[in-house]
Amino acid sequence: RGFDDVECVGTLDEAITSVESWGNFDMVLLDLDMPGMNGLDGLRRMVAICGDTPVAIISGTNKFDIVQSAIDAGARGFIPKTMPAKSISAAIGFMIAGEVFAPYHILQKAPESNEAFDLKPREKQVLSGLSEGLSNKEIALKLELHEVTVKLHVKTLSRKLNARNRTHAAMIARDHGLV
């Protein structure tokens, strides 16, 4: 099989069968959410079967802790589904050459630790509302607060999270597992 040949399967078990049948892949790329993966257990199974053949993860999830856990579990790399096709191709070539790949923008988001944000319980509740896409008024009704109080919490959250706006605060919260 050349670099341009691709074998596509729908489940981890089918991928394992394919690897065991062909045995000469340059690389194996597993979707983190494909049936049978069971989190990173599927990755560990495939790594054990593949020997020297690099195994990488592709996923729509790009949280730092998941990327780090995948690499710790033996993945040669981690490719977000949002990467452009040319970048994915380059990353695959990089991993086949023996290097470990993870996009810089994900590694840059290494959590300082959730405690570093020093969020109070009420701030976490407001942040949860922001992450649900609720307006200040909707959050106020849900938490039985005055709208002006929610507005102050949003301002404090933006400062603590170093967020440009409420949407950015919700994104930071998602990326750091705060909600």
Q: What is the pLDDT of residue 10?
A: 93
Q: What is the pLDDT of residues 26-46, one digit of tens each?
A: 999 999 999 999 989 999 999
Rounded average pLDDT over 80-94? 91
Instruction: Please tell me the predicted confidence (pLDDT) of residue 2.
Output: 42
User: Measuring CA to CA, how many Å separate 73 from each of 27, 65, 100?
Assistant: 16, 12, 13
- Asked whether residue 105 carries a pLDDT value surpassing 80, the answer given is no
Give the mean pLDDT of the chain: 88
Greater confidence, 104 or 30? 30
Q: Domain 12-107: give its CATH code.
A: 3.40.50.2300
pLDDT for the residue numbered 95: 95
Residues of the chain with CATH 1.10.10.10: 114-175
CATH for the stretch 114-175: 1.10.10.10
Q: In this predicted model, what pLDDT tens digit does every residue of 111-135 receive, in sequence order?
A: 555 556 788 889 999 999 999 999 9
Global pTM exceeds 0.85: no
| CATH code 3.40.50.2300 region(s) in the chain | 12-107
54-57 long-range contacts, Cβ below 8 Å, gap at least 24? 54/26, 54/27, 54/28, 54/95, 54/96, 54/98, 55/27, 55/28, 55/29, 55/30, 56/27, 56/28, 56/29, 56/30, 56/92, 56/95, 56/101, 57/29, 57/30, 57/31, 57/32
Distance CA 168, CA 157 (A): 10
Greatest CA separation for the chain:
64
Distance of alpha carbon 179 from alpha carbon 171, whole angstroms:
10
